[in-house]
Structure 1
């Protein structure tokens, strides 16, 4: 099961305690997963589609709890081995479809005429708890979240730019969230790419288990990345030390060939002999072998002086 499906399954187990939050979540789901059909006589039929059976069961229960009406659940006409089955929740005129559309801020009246609004009705999302519920409904309707092992990406698909802007505004009302909009082939996407923001959005919606799972994966990826960087630094330092030692040995051998080690002062001669005897030892450890012991910078200075002498020969 995908990370996105696991997240939706967890969210589908949440039943809002407040009536206002119930309505906000229902409105979010209908707005992002629903379509409105004419049923004759100026009446409406609401059809909501989901590929997740747990989500279908959840909204059948939630709508029953809030509106006291039964929602018909059937199999979608389009299905494929890759996407699996789709489930259609239908509410007709006989089950207060018009009342539901009005209370969810979708069916509005202007100049005495009904019209279908495009966007999120402000009256439903005035409080933080209702914004969380609306976001949960929207995500369960048309949201996805990638497996954090692969990439950080959270997105809610919308059909119109107006709805995308409203969803971005709702997401950005939460601390440290900075959602953006992308134009897709079939509508718009409101998305998050930063790992911390994706994780927080999961937590805001109420998926605690998935929040902690996401956080743990983020932490492990961070540790692996840090270890990789440190290993690269260590390898680079080793390569640098090897090249430096090779250069020092070449300088010492040149002095031996041209003048002999007695040409050097006693202190430089001791440093040269130790380097020849210990070609793989680092500068700091080599300094400790001197009599008396030298600091890393002191040993480095003597070897640098030997290289300068070799260049002058």
Structure 2
């Protein structure tokens, strides 16, 4: 089971305690996973589509509690892509359909052909209603990637006005998502791990937050270890390459003009480097009598290199 499905299953079990929450959630489902069709005689057909059984049960429960009307439930096998089941919850009572769409401010009596994707603020009068609306928007058309792969949470809108409106409500409670078009849809997304974790907690997915943070900690530790190993490897490689070049310089001087051509202060450093090819500059400095600093050793090896370059004719 995917992490996104686990999150939705947990959120679908959050209690719907009062009517304001029911209205807020249904207003979100109408705008995210609702499908409206006009039939003969200007009759309105409303159904909700989702691939998550827990979300389907939650939508069905909300409709039953508010309207108690007849509802058809169907499950079909999607033959494309992942072949997941598609659940359809269809309201069959015309009066209940109109009541829900009007109460959600998605349609208005003066013009039933114009859809209003920006929700009426009167529906979201308190923090709990806003939380319910954001939670249902995620349940209806959202997903979150497993933190073991990458940090990404998104909500899909079929209309930019709707996407901007969701972002407005997110901003009201301390979140701010970015938006981008993907084909014909407008996508709101978060990529910061802390923001995703906080939003999951805000929506009520406390168990998923623990899993998210646990995976995140392991991932961050692993990444930090890899960075340290890569850094140490790079430094070791740099030290070995520098030591090899220094030894070549010293061997060239030995074969051509001998150590007698070196200044007296350079000979101990050259000798120590030849005897300890694996040592770092700091370790060579510790072996000197008296001890020398790393920069002091490096300065003397640079002078040796300059002499070797002259002997090479460079």
Counterpart of 1:46 in structure 2 is 46
Is the Cα contact below 8 Å between 1:43 and 1:98 reproduced in 2? no
* 1:97 corresponding residue in structure 2: 97
For 2:304, the equivalent position in structure 1 comes to: 306
Deviations 1:114-143 (CA, angstroms, capped at 9, x unpaired): 455321222223433222211111221122
CA contact (8 A) 1:15 1:62 kept: no
Contact 1:32-1:158 at 8 Å conserved across structures: yes
**Residue 50 of structure 1, CA deviation:** 1.4
> Could you give the per-residue CA deviations for residues 220-258 of structure 1, whole angstroms, max 9, x where no partner exists?
333333333322222222222122212221222232223
Cα 1:42–1:265 change in 2 (3 A) is closer
Partner of 1:63: 63
Match of 1:12 in 2: 12
- Cα distance, 1:38 vs. partner? 4.2
Q: Which residue of 2 aligns with 1:223?
A: 221
Q: Is 1:109–1:115's contact at 8 Å kept on the other side of the alignment?
A: no
Count of residues paired in the alignment: 309
Using the TM superposition, name which of 228-237 and 240-249 deviates more. 228-237
Q: Is the 8 A contact 1:171 1:179 kept in 2?
A: no
Q: 1:271: how far off?
A: 1.4
Partner of 1:240: 238
Instruction: Return 5+ residue gaps in structure 2 as ranges.
Output: none
TM-score between the two structures when normalised by the length of structure 1: 0.87
Q: Does 1:80 align with 2:79?
A: yes
Deviations 1:14-66 (A, max 9, x none): 11334312210121112211123446655434211112111111222233334
Cα shift at 1:285: 0.9
- Indicate the SS of the match to 1:109: coil
After TM superposition, the score normalised by the length of structure 2 is: 0.87
Shift of 1:99: 1.9
- For the pair 1:206 / 2:204, whether they are aligned, the reply is yes
Call closer, same or farther: CA 1:95–1:51 in 2, change over 3 Å.
farther
Describe how 1:107-186 pairs up with structure 2 within 5 A: 107-110=107-110, 113-119=111-117, 120-185=119-184
